[in-house]
Amino acid sequence: MPLPATEIALLTDTLARQWRRVRTWVGDAVGDDVRGEPSVLPGWTVAELVAHLARAMDALAVCVPAEPTTVPATFAEYLGSYPDRAEEVAETARIIARQIEDAPLQWADARATAALHEAESLGPDDVVVQGRRAPVLLSTMLVSRILELVVHADDLLRSVRRVRGADAAPDPVDPVALHLVAEELLDIVVARGGWDLEVADARLWLRLAAGRVPYDVDALARALHPRFASDAVPDLGRMLPLL
């Protein structure tokens, strides 16, 4: 269901705030001594993660209005297209990282500026837009971009801390953006299983839902709580990761 214009404005503001936060962090924490190091994602360097952040914003920059009768994919359906394209996404990040290695942040800034401009141009109504992968509501595209920035900002934080030391960098994840995507991911789980759950630890739940930490029922019980004390957190091992 399309969201009201006020919600689209809030999502756009959240995306812009999360971008500014991670962009500032990358500028401060990811120097030449770190950029080529392996990240916490197998097969990805820190430089490739930075390139992928900019590519994630570019996915919004290239959106155009869809035909009026177009049926949009849901957020869950859109995320469901991720696994089949994992290697393609990784290879694209490698290519871009090589192409922009002399000035990676300038390219990132340009793509982010274009993305935020396009969000303003497409709004304020929650219209159906044609993305690279599928037609979606503008709200879905915005939430998916926030998710990409939050997940990969957390990846970068863990990567740089591993390289430089546990206290080498602050947190590039905006807390409002983190809470938003944690709730969106929980909504997918609840819709599929009908449970009444709430997020207890947004960062841990994000990492479990995104496959960043191994699935463990004890970790899940710390990440999610049943809304009613008489209930229990279900075993989501067959459902996770969501992306």
Residue 43 gets the label, from left (phi > 0), alpha (psi -120 to 50) or beta, of left
Mean pLDDT value of segment 4-27 = 97
Given a cut of 70, is residue 166 above it in pLDDT? no
Q: What are 191-236's pLDDT values in tens digits? A: 999 999 999 999 999 999 999 999 999 999 999 999 998 889 999 9
56-69 per-residue burial string, b: 16 or more CB within 10 A, e: under 16: bbbbbbebeebeee
A 10 A CB-CB count for 100 gives 18
Please count the structural domains in the chain.
2
Does residue 62 sit in the same domain as residue 125?
yes
Q: What are 14-23's pLDDT values in tens digits? A: 999 999 999 9
> What's the one-letter identity of residue 136?
V
Mean pLDDT value of segment 142-171 = 88
Does residue 69 sit in the same domain as residue 130?
yes
- Model-level pTM? 0.95
Cα distance between residue 173 and residue 198, in whole Å: 20
Among 173, 200, 232, identify where a domain stops.
173
Does residue 162 sit in the same domain as residue 189?
no
> Per-residue DSSP letters for 43-63?
T-BHHHHHHHHHHHHHHHHT-
Provide Rg for the chain, Cα atoms: 18
Residue with tokens 């009768």: 69
Does residue 167 sit in the same domain as residue 219?
no
Among 173, 206, 234, identify where a domain stops.
173
Contact by Cβ (8 Å): 202, 178: yes
Cα distance between residue 241 and residue 207, in whole Å: 9
Does residue 122 sit in the same domain as residue 190?
no
Does residue 123 sit in the same domain as residue 243?
no
Does residue 54 sit in the same domain as residue 106?
yes
Does residue 40 sit in the same domain as residue 154?
yes
215: domain range?
174-243
Does residue 150 sit in the same domain as residue 90?
yes
Cα distance between residue 213 and residue 127, in whole Å: 35
Does residue 43 sit in the same domain as residue 12?
yes
Q: For the chain, give percent helix, strand, coil, nearest 5.
A: 60, 5, 30
Among 115, 146, 173, identify where a domain stops.
173
Does residue 25 sit in the same domain as residue 140?
yes
Contact by Cβ (8 Å): 222, 213: no
Does residue 181 sit in the same domain as residue 84?
no
Element (H, E) at 115: helix 104-122
2-21 per-residue burial string, b: 16 or more CB within 10 A, e: under 16: ebeeeebeebbebbbebbeb
Give me the CATH number covering residue 87: 1.20.120.450
Q: What are 170-191's pLDDT values in tens digits? A: 899 999 999 999 999 999 999 9
pLDDT at 162: 78
